[in-house]
Each structure stands twice: as structure tokens, then as C-alpha cells.
Amino acid sequence: MRQQSKIAVEVRDVVIGGEKPLVCLPLVAKNSDDLLGEAELLKPLHPDLLEWRVDGFAGVGNIDACLDVQARLRRVIGDIPLIYTCRIDCEGGMAKLDQDKRRDLIEAAISAGTVDLVDIELCNDRDFIASVRSKAREFGVKLILSYHNFDETPGENFIVEKLEAQCRSGADIAKLAVMPKSYSDVLTLLNATNRARNTTVDVPIITMSMGFMGQITRLAGGLFGSDVTFAIGKDASAPGQIAIERLRDAMDIFYKQV
């Protein structure tokens, strides 16, 4: 059986860090009609979690427009836990916002009370992280601190230290996505995840090696300590994601017994 997270995170009736890794589907539509349509389409696929990639939404610069769609989105998805992500452009985000605006948007989303988790990058400055963290705590929203590298896979120590730093900065969940150039890089990511899970990182972990080479980490990363895998519902939000139906079939091989 896989090594569970020492501290599990519960959102609605979903446990992150429990017996089985969970499947999250990203919502990446550009306009509100398409976004709500995408959510309708994904709901019957029964994802454990949904992620709204707000940085892919054309109205991302308009807080009121975003809040309006967010409220409608919650009505469509019912009780499915929702991650709110406005990814910073230097780590793969699709919009360039200034930091004050991005923080205001994220905090407004948290205060609206209709998102369950928020994902921000560890590369944001301390004040940005402290401000979002305190807003998240106030509204009972779980904080994911993340790191993305679309160019390469850093060494094992770097990865473990990044996950540890996320914990020290108050992450309820530590997350890291990196790009492999070889299958050794894929093993580095899995080794680092396994080490973090079994030593210093007590909170749930989400890691993935991106691209084609990294697909094994999306299927079997849970065995090494990754608690959530991102799949394709309608459209991908990162290279290497696999359609949810195929992913679930494959995951049954690894996790059915539990």
C-alpha cells in the first residue's frame, strides 16, 4: 500500500493525502460561456477536484467579471472542490498581470467563499504570500504553494528543499511540476517525491514530471507520494496530461486493491 501523507487535507467530502491519489481536471476556457460549458461537460466525469485556471480566462483583468463567473461556476459544479489558480506568467501563466492586481484578484476570489483551495507560487515575494495566506486562513481556504520549471528538472536535493520551503511558508499542500530531458530526470522527480514523503514533508504533496517522458508520474506518482494527478477533461493545461478516462483505467492497476 502507498505511504499516505502524515497530515491529510479535507475539502468538502474529499480527502487529499489519503489512501488513493485524486484526479483533478483543469478548466481552461477563455470566455464565460465556454467555461461554464466546459464545467457542465466535466461534471459527469466525476473528477475528485476541479481547477479554474483563471489566467486563461480573457476577463482575468476585471475582478468583477471574474467574481461573477466564479459564482456561476460554483452553481454548475455543485459540491466538487475547486482550486483557484491565477498562474504567474514566469511559471507558465497565460496572462501578464501586475502583482498587486493579481493579489487583489486572488484575495477577492477567496473572500467570495466559493473556492476551496488556492494555488500560488513560492516565487512570489514574502508579503504577497503572507497576505494571501492570511486571507485563505480567514476564509478556511487551503493554501497550495507551487513551483514550476518548464525548462528542466533540478536535482533531487533542490526538489526536496523546494517542497520543504513551501511547508515553511505555510503551505497546506506542497506542489512542484518540472520538465524532464531524460528518463533519469523522471526518476529524480519520483525519488525526490518519495524522499520528501518519507522524511520531512508531512503535508500532502503534488508533483509531476511534465511532457511525454513524464507521463508515468501522472499514472503512478501516487505510489511515490504524490496525492493529486492532473488530467485532461476537455483541454490540457500542461504538457503530458492524459485523458481522465484512460488515466483512471491505468490507475486502477496500481491502486485498485486499496
Ligand X SMILES: O=C1C[C@@](O)(C(=O)O)C[C@@H](O)[C@@H]1O
In the annotated binding site for 3-dehydroquinate, the residues are 51-53, 87, 218, 237, 241
Q: Minimum Å distance from CB 92 to ligand X?
A: 6
Is 20 a known active-site residue? no
Q: Is there binding between residue 173 and ligand X (CB under 6 A)? A: no
- Binders in 28-47 for ligand X, by CB under 6 A: none
Q: Is there binding between residue 85 and ligand X (CB under 6 A)? A: yes
Q: Which residues contact 80 (CB under 8 A, 6 or more apart)?
A: 12, 43, 47, 48, 49, 50
Q: Is there binding between residue 209 and ligand X (CB under 6 A)? A: no
Please select the residue that binds ligand X; options are 57, 128, 147, 230, rule is CB under 6 A.
230
Q: Minimum Å distance from CB 257 to ligand X?
A: 26
Of 135, 148, 162, 234, the active-site residue reads 148
The residue range among 9-17, 70-78, 236-244, 248-256 that interacts with ligand X, by the rule CB under 6 A, is: 236-244
Please select the residue that binds ligand X; options are 9, 36, 47, 51, rule is CB under 6 A.
51
Q: Which is nearer to ligand X, 69 or 144 (CB)?
A: 144
The residue range among 13-21, 127-135, 187-195, 230-238 that interacts with ligand X, by the rule CB under 6 A, is: 230-238
Length of the chain: 258
Please select the residue that binds ligand X; options are 132, 196, 208, 242, rule is CB under 6 A.
208
Q: Which residues contact 33 (CB under 8 A, 6 or more apart)?
A: none
Please select the residue that binds ligand X; options are 114, 193, 207, 241, rule is CB under 6 A.
241
- What's the grid cell of residue 239? 504538457
With b for 16 or more beta-carbon neighbours within 10 A and e for fewer, the 56-91 pattern comes to bbebbeebeebbebbeebbebbeebbbbbbbbbeeb
Q: Which is nearer to ligand X, 1 or 21 (CB)?
A: 21
Is 148 a known active-site residue? yes
With b for 16 or more beta-carbon neighbours within 10 A and e for fewer, the 2-17 pattern comes to bebbeeebebeeebbb
Q: Which is nearer to ligand X, 177 or 213 (CB)?
A: 177
Q: How far apart are CA 161 and CA 127, in angstroms?
A: 21
* DSSP output for 107-118: HHHHHTT--SEE
Residues that bind ligand X (CB under 6 A): 26, 51, 53, 85, 119, 146, 148, 177, 208, 210, 230, 237-238, 241
